[in-house]
Chain A
Amino acid sequence: MNNINSKDYRKYVNSKIPKPSYFKNCIWAFIVGGIICTIGQIITNFYNNVGLDKEDGAAATAITLIFIGALLTGIGIYDKIGKRAGAGSIVPITGFANSIVSPAMEFKREGYIFGVAAKMFSIAGPVLVYGFGSSIIIGIIYYFITK
């Protein structure tokens, strides 16, 4: 078996893999992502109605959604939503909360320093690094274009 050509073998293996139903997955992601955004809009409207201005209302909405995402992760519901929704529940800010709370919970047993604190950003970390990095680059470009 050591004379297996890895390129041919990979091709052969790919022909054996069941294909995911992209259309169905997209619909799920669209619906769940849409519901999360609608909930966010309801929360924003609520904060605006109780007197917060646009900027403060947006910040309060983000805080509320992060709390909901973290709570649903803690009680073991968010991963079940994510299983169906895929990107629909990963992309919104609730997904970001999930990606930080889930490793924090998982590694609590290793202590608060080397467990919770060290592992907390193991999934969200790359998003932050490249998010900050690309915003700096775009900021510099913007500065020179508008100068």
Chain B
Amino acid sequence: MAQKKIGKQTVKFQNPPSIISTASIVGPKEGEGPLKEYFDIILEDDLYDQDSWEKAESKMLEDAMKMAIKNAKLLEEQIEYILAGDLLNQIISSSFAVRQLQRPYFGLYGACSTMTESLSLGSMIVDGGFADNVLCATSSHFCTAERQYRFPLELGNQRPFTSQWTVTGAGAAVISANGSGPYITHVTTGKIVDPGIKDVNNMGAAMAPAAADTIIQHFEDTGFNVDDYDLIITGDLSGIGKPIAEELILTKGIDISTIYKDCGIEIFDGKRQDTHAGGSGCGCSASVFAGYLYKELKKGKYNRILLVSTGALHSPVSANQGESIPGIAHAVTISNVIS
């Protein structure tokens, strides 16, 4: 009998795990954005003293992990599981980043939804009594993502208005059975929603129905109202997807507009930084969560938030073969108090 399951897709933790530390590293462009003061490290050069973009991304993730462990005042040996993922083929950034750490590791792939995927599974491991300290981390890098999904950096092409800018960034969090919050109290795991969008330059629209589905299901399963939250923040729906998700949720009679934000919109100043629809990538919700959201939860500006990282689960192969883009979104309730 699943005692912690409520409703169709939600888990309510009996002993909510605490997020005892976070760490965030971002690239130079993110470091010029509106959230710059919240990030722990801002790189001066997005190669990070490495000889390839892939190595740079991996090092960024490794350093974020180490910093989160240090901030938690733990030793590396005390981390019982690492749950990490990224966007690159065969998630090389994550697997290479944990090589040195020598801790038990699960590699995850949820595209840009990986941050909440890792937080969800990490919390389940801790609340389930399988470990006391779990490290959750993800990363993305503009240059590695561009070459894998799109065109060479120096190609003189034009980006459509609907396209998004992959965030160069990594975020890591240590979830622990012992701690004084913020706590992860609920997790709503999303299912794949594919609205039939085939344009890989319009991922916001492809993911918006998945985000709406998960948020609606979260309210249904938990019985929460919009008033129970200070903030609902999606991962990277950005300028096109955010208003669509908002409208889709409104069709069910839930108006989240007053407390709804999107990490992809918050991380860049779209006009000044020319990022078109906004930021995207695993590192988008990861760095905004580990930097901005965690610090504001600690300060008490927010007391309960719903973080909904959103992922577009296509690949360059599926896109070239004319397949539509399946979307997914996982929601995590992070609260300063245990309700």
**Are A101 and B156 in touch, CB under 8 angstroms?**
no
How many residues of A are counted as interface, with CB atoms below 8 angstroms from the partner's CB atoms? Answer: 38
| B156 in contact with A20 (CB, 8 Å) | no
* CA gap between A104 and B147 in the complex, in Å: 12
A133 contacts chain B at the CB level, 8 A cutoff = no
Chain B, interface size: which category? Answer: 20 to 34
Q: Which residues of A contact B216 (CB under 8 A)?
A: 1
Residue A17 at the B interface, CB < 8 A? yes
Residues in B neighbouring A86, C-beta threshold 8 A? 158
Q: Is the CB of B240 within 8 A of A1?
A: no
Contact between B155 and A123, CB atoms less than 8 A apart? yes
Task: List the one stretch of B32-40, B85-93, B125-133, B191-199 in contact with chain A.
Answer: B191-199
> A98: CB under 8 A from chain B?
yes
Residues of A bordering B, CB below 8 Å: 1-2, 4, 6-7, 9-10, 12-13, 16-18, 20, 25, 73-74, 76, 78-83, 85-86, 89-90, 95, 98-99, 101-103, 105-107, 109, 123
B171 near A: Cβ within 8 Å?
no
Chain B contact residues: helix, strand, loop or mixed: loop
Give CA–CA (A127, B130) in the complex, Å.
57
The interface residues of chain A lying within 8 Å CB-to-CB of B253 are none
Q: Which of B152, B153, B193, B244 contacts A16 (CB 8 A)?
A: B244
Determine whether the beta carbon of B202 is less than 8 Å from that of A78.
Answer: no
Question: Please, which residue of chain A has its CB at the minimum distance from the CB of B248?
Answer: A1
23 contacts between A and B (CB under 8 A): A1-B248, A4-B196, A6-B196, A6-B324, A10-B196, A13-B197, A13-B202, A13-B240, A17-B240, A20-B161, A25-B158, A79-B155, A79-B156, A80-B156, A81-B156, A83-B159, A89-B156, A90-B157, A102-B156, A106-B147, A109-B51, A109-B52, A123-B151
Contacts of A12 in B (CB 8 A): 244
Select the stretch in B12-20, B176-184, B206-214, B282-290 that faces chain A.
Answer: B206-214
CB distance B156 to A78 under 8 Å? yes
